[in-house]
Amino acid sequence: MRGMLAAEARRLANTVIWSWDGFRAAWATEKTLRQWTLANVLSAALAFSLDLTPAERGLILALGFVVLAAELINTAIEEVVDMISPVLDPRAKKAKDCGSACVALAALAAGLAWVAVLLG
């Protein structure tokens, strides 16, 4: 049992390390990730400065993380597409455009949440 717990702890530690490595790599090369992170910091500051319910604040913060996750997925798609298809290909464009649309939809959801919270 102890060996199994140690293996799971190592696996969890590796997952955290690999996730942090991925975020750092994207941060270093992706201006849009840095921009969305700044937008999320500002959004969180506003969420904590306004008189919001815990559920409203949680929704705003969670959707901010969804936008960042979508941006990381988009970055991963772009990197893989660029590696596999260095020449222009309509399928490569479609994959990249779909990744971008994922970010746009997540950002729209976050924006709509703000509208609902502020008008509700």
For 31-119, CATH gives 1.10.287.3610
CA distance 74 to 26: 10
DSSP code of residue 74: H
Residues with pLDDT less than 50, the chain? none
All residues at 6 or more sequence positions from 23 whose CB lies less than 8 Å from its CB, including other chains = 72
Residue-level pLDDT at 55: 97
Q: Taking a C-beta distance cutoff of 8 angstroms, is the pair 64, 110 a contact? A: yes
The predicted model scores a pTM of: 0.90
Output helix, strand, coil percentages for the chain, rounded to the nearest 5. Answer: 90, 0, 10
User: Which residues have a catalytic role annotated?
Assistant: 71
Q: Taking a C-beta distance cutoff of 8 angstroms, is the pair 68, 36 a contact? A: yes
